[in-house]
A and B are shown apart, each in its own frame.
Chain A
Amino acid sequence: ETGVTQSPTHLIKTRGQQVTLRCSSQSGHNTVSWYQQALGQGPQFIFQYYREEENGRGNFPPRFSGLQFPNYSSELNVNALELDDSALYLCASSLGGQHTGELFFGEGSRLTVL
């Protein structure tokens, strides 16, 4: 059983650019959630995707968008990057609709915006 994998692990962008982060969910999981973790803080919920549709969104602006594909992998896109977007972006997968609450995280993508 493969775990949650994310790519790239590290990347550097400049303000105003766009970035795409990718996530492959754990085998058998159909739900992907994205979290932003600023340095020294707890992760903050960005949004969740279930069966290719957004299924809940946190307090993030529309320039944060996502996709989920038929194989349940997912992308997080951030447009018009700002300095405050520098953070560890975490993907978590789960089995939606089972009410277990169990989410399993990947290692994250460390984004630095200069």
Chain B
Amino acid sequence: QQQVKQSPQSLIVQKGGISIINCAYENTAFDYFPWYQQFPGKGPALLIAIRPDVSEKKEGRFTISFNKSAKQFSLHIMDSQPGDSATYFCAAIGTRFFGNEKLTFGTGTRLTIIP
């Protein structure tokens, strides 16, 4: 079953706080896990991504934590800002076999940062 489960569906965080979004997957063929940020009326924009050979990746205020044994990964947004208000999608893709490089997306988390 090529499914990625994402939670929560919506999240409200105060400015300056930490936003945390969680995802879980089943398919062990997945070997690349990106997060996309999408603003209303726009296409998804690649935010940060991780491969399963590392447990954490940090880029600025954004951190991915990865637990290979539990098949879970999460996005942490530190010092959350109103401009971070958007819908966030986790995704997974298997890159080892060309022709199977399709992203499987989670259902999305609508993040709202309040002042």
Contact = CB atoms under 8 A, between A and B. Distances in A.
A96 B104 contact: no
A110 B95 CA distance: 29
Most central of A48, A100, A103 by chain B CB within 10 Å: A103
Interface stretch (A12-20, A39-47, A74-82): A39-47
Where chain B touches its partner, the secondary structure class is loop
Contacts of A102: 34, 46, 49
Contact of A56 (B31, B42, B101): B101
Interface of B: 6, 31-32, 34, 36, 41-46, 49, 89, 91, 93, 95-96, 98-108
Interface of A: 4, 31, 33, 35, 40-45, 48, 50, 55-56, 58, 90, 92, 94, 96-97, 99-108, 110
